Each structure stands twice: as C-alpha cells, then as structure tokens.
Amino acid sequence: RREYSNAFFFRQKFAQEFAALDSEVWKHYECNRQARLFFSFDRYAALHLFEELKPVELFAVGSTVNGCGSYNSDMDLCLCIPTDIENIYSSERMLVHTGGIYFILNTIIKGKPSLRRVVRSSEVIPAKVPIIKMSLHPPYEELDLDINVNNTAGIYNSHLIHYYARYLNLTDITCIDQRFPAVCLLVKHWAITNGIGDAATGSFNSYSLILLVLHYFQCGVQPAVLPNLQFLYPDKFGSTPPLSELHLFQDLNTLPREPPNNQTVGELLVGFFHYYAAFDFENIAISMRNSCVISRSQMPPDTYMYCVFIEEPFDRNNTARFALFVLRVHCSEEILRSNFLIDLQFVIRNVSKVEFPVFFVAAGTTL
C-alpha cells in the first residue's frame, strides 16, 4: 500500500518500534564514532610523520577528517609531492606520472633511521589509487596508516564532507545535522557486513556510500535535511583553492533559514533504503555538485559502462566506477512491518549479524 512509501504514516503505525529504532541508531553512533580525542591523537601522529617527510605536505583525508568514521578506522593520508605538471588536481593524470613514486617513497621510509623509529612496517598496495600501508611503533601502535600520493581530489572532498558532518564548535554538542554522520556510519557498517563495502570486490567504497546518504538527505526527502554547501559557499567549497587554504573546524556563515526536516534518524534510515530500492541506477546518475539527478542519456556514451554513476563533487569522475553490481533492497509491505523494525533494532546492536533483505543484481539484469 502507498502509505508505506511515506515514513510519517509508517511511523504512526509502528510508533513504539520506531522509538526503539531511533534509540538504537543513536547508541550505535555514540559507541562507534570517532571522538575528537582520537582525531587529535591521529593528527599528532600525522604531524610526527610530516616532520620526517619534509618538504612534502601531508594531509589527513577520508574518515579521519570527514566526521563519518568509526573509532577503529584506519588513518588515511595524502602525501603531496611538488610537481611541475599543470593542474595537479587531476588525480587521473597524476597517477600516470606517480606510479613509481610509491616504491621509491617506500624505499626511503625503510631506509631512513629516524622514520624507522616511527614506522614499524610498510608496503605498497597496488590499486587504481595505490597506497602505502603502514603500521607504527608505540605510542601509535594502534593506528594503521594508508598513504596515497598526490590524490588531491580526496583532500578537497574530505574537506567538503567534513563540513556536512562536523561540529560547529569545540564542545562536541552541535553539528549541522547530527543525523547525517549517524546514518552514514550505520550504512557503512551495514555495507561492510553484507560484503558490499569494498570497491576491490566490485561494490561500493565508503566515500560512495557517504555520497549516497548525502544525496538522499538533500534530494530524497522534503524538506531537505542538508543544504548544498557548494552552492551556498562557492568560494569555500565550489572551487579548488590552494591546499594551504583548506581549514577544518571553522564556523560557517549563517545558513539560510529553510523549513526544517523533523524526521527522526530511524525514519531517515528506513527512507534511505526505500529510496534506493526504487532508484533507477541504469538510467539516472547522481550529481553531487548540483544536488540533483541527471539522465544518463545526457552523459557521454562511455559512462554506460558503469553500473552506477555518482558524480564526484570536484573532478566530476564516477566515485562508484568499481561497483559491478546494483544494490537492491526490498522495501515491500511484507518487509516494512513491525517484525522488520524489531529485527532492525537487533541488527544495529549486532552489526555482525545484519539481516537486511539485500541481494545483488548484475548490470543489465531485469528484475
């Protein structure tokens, strides 16, 4: 019945179950999010490495700074090596010229005595964007580091997502909308548990999952939960200024007054799965920069090789280019019932036993 497409009516019918669901989502977030204390510890470790690797620049990226990571997330870093190549922002171009840099850098790390006192082990992991994976000596032995070289796209998009999820002050009380990082963290854990949170296996990377949540929060609900920061602050988020001008934890100017979205975090979580259960990935692409969907028929023909197209906010590449399968989640009346919500509460408490109704559909398959 049509009422199940509307979270409000669904909540009215299962008010008690939704209240419990909301509580469990917030518990999951509070127990698993990366606290500011851990961020400070991570940053201190990065500064230690930075001092050893000068004159190159080292930037924290990914879940380390974007506000959507868990307490046990790896620390992602981008090492920016000066280059004469025009427009170093182009990550695709830089990868062609920096392929051998990883092995050279890894040799330097292993051969420099002062770095060996910090770095316990390191190895190059070949990939579309290669990384150097490091483990450290005490007091940083609990940190695992993933370092890429000159992938500056990751610096800009981490800076942007940071401001969607960040706290507006240093008291850890208020953020633009705390429902966003809470849903992101749960969706990431759900995807990993279901084997669809790893680009290396033909599914989604964590950044694409975050963008799926962001798109839903901007376009999938009315009124929108989050604004388009690239549109509202073009000088800060709509361009690619010098990396030295990117700063975290700064206050934004007053956001425009818009009608608030009062849905609970549980309603938004269920709505997220409902939205993408009906999403036509084959014919529609997601534009993060413009906060909209676009017909794939208006895009270059070669983009049809991708099962899913999520436009990166800065370089316009497809963040989900490795996704070989479309994720479909059944949200029929049979699923959206009180027992499903009760199961969902259990799932959130025991992420290793996720039972969301999920299956893969290969590209081009008709359901």
Mean pLDDT of the 277-303 span: 91
Q: How far, in Å, CA of 334 to CA of 233, rounded?
A: 44
Nearest to 20 by CA among 351, 343, 356, 358: 343
Q: How far, in Å, CA of 320 to CA of 310, rounded?
A: 6
Q: Which residue has the higher pLDDT, 84 or 130?
A: 130
CATH of domain 36-153: 3.30.460.10
Supply the pLDDT for residue 361.
Answer: 34
Q: Which residues pair with 122 in a beta bridge?
A: 134
**What percent of the chain is helix, strand and coil (3-state, nearest 5)?**
45, 15, 40
Q: Could you report the per-residue pLDDT of 20-36, keeping only the tens digit for each? A: 888 889 999 988 887 65
Q: How far, in Å, CA of 96 to CA of 352, rounded?
A: 39
Nearest to 291 by CA among 341, 199, 241, 221: 221
Supply the pLDDT for residue 100.
Answer: 63
Q: What is the DSSP pairing of strand 325-329 with strand 57-61?
A: unpaired
Task: Say which residues have a Cβ less than 8 Å from residue 8's Cβ, sequence separation at least 6.
Answer: 263, 267
Q: Do domains 2-33+172-225+261-362 and 36-153 have the same CATH topology?
A: no
- Which helix (H) or strand (E) segment is 349 a member of? helix 338-349
Q: What is the DSSP pairing of strand 119-125 with strand 310-311?
A: unpaired
Spatial contact of 345 and 25, defined as CB atoms under 8 Å apart: no
Q: Could you report the per-residue pLDDT of 190-219, keeping only the tens digit for each? A: 888 777 777 777 778 889 999 999 999 999
Q: How far, in Å, CA of 36 to CA of 71, rounded?
A: 10
User: Average pLDDT of the chain?
Assistant: 75
Supply the pLDDT for residue 251.
Answer: 79
Mean pLDDT of the 145-162 span: 89
> Which fold would CATH assign to domain 2-33+172-225+261-362?
Poly(a)-polymerase, middle domain (1.10.1410)
State the number of CA atoms in the 13 A half-sphere of 75 facing the CB.
25
DSSP 170: T
Q: Where are the domains of the chain?
A: 2-33+172-225+261-362, 36-153
Q: Please compute Rg for the chain using Cα positions.
A: 21
Q: Could you report the per-residue pLDDT of 62-106, keeping only the tens digit for each? A: 887 888 888 777 888 888 876 543 344 444 444 444 456 666 677
Task: Say which residues have a Cβ less than 8 Å from residue 186's Cβ, sequence separation at least 6.
Answer: 25, 28, 29, 269, 348
Asked whether the predicted pLDDT for residue 158 surpasses 90, the reply is yes
Angle among Cα 257, 259, 261 to the nearest 5 degrees reads 125
Spatial contact of 212 and 310, defined as CB atoms under 8 Å apart: yes
SS (H, E, C) 225-255: CCCCHHHHCHHHHCCCCCHHHCCCCCCCCCC
Torsion of CA 188, 190, 195, 196, to 10 degrees: -50
- Residue 26's region, left for phi above 0, alpha for psi from -120 to 50, else beta, is alpha
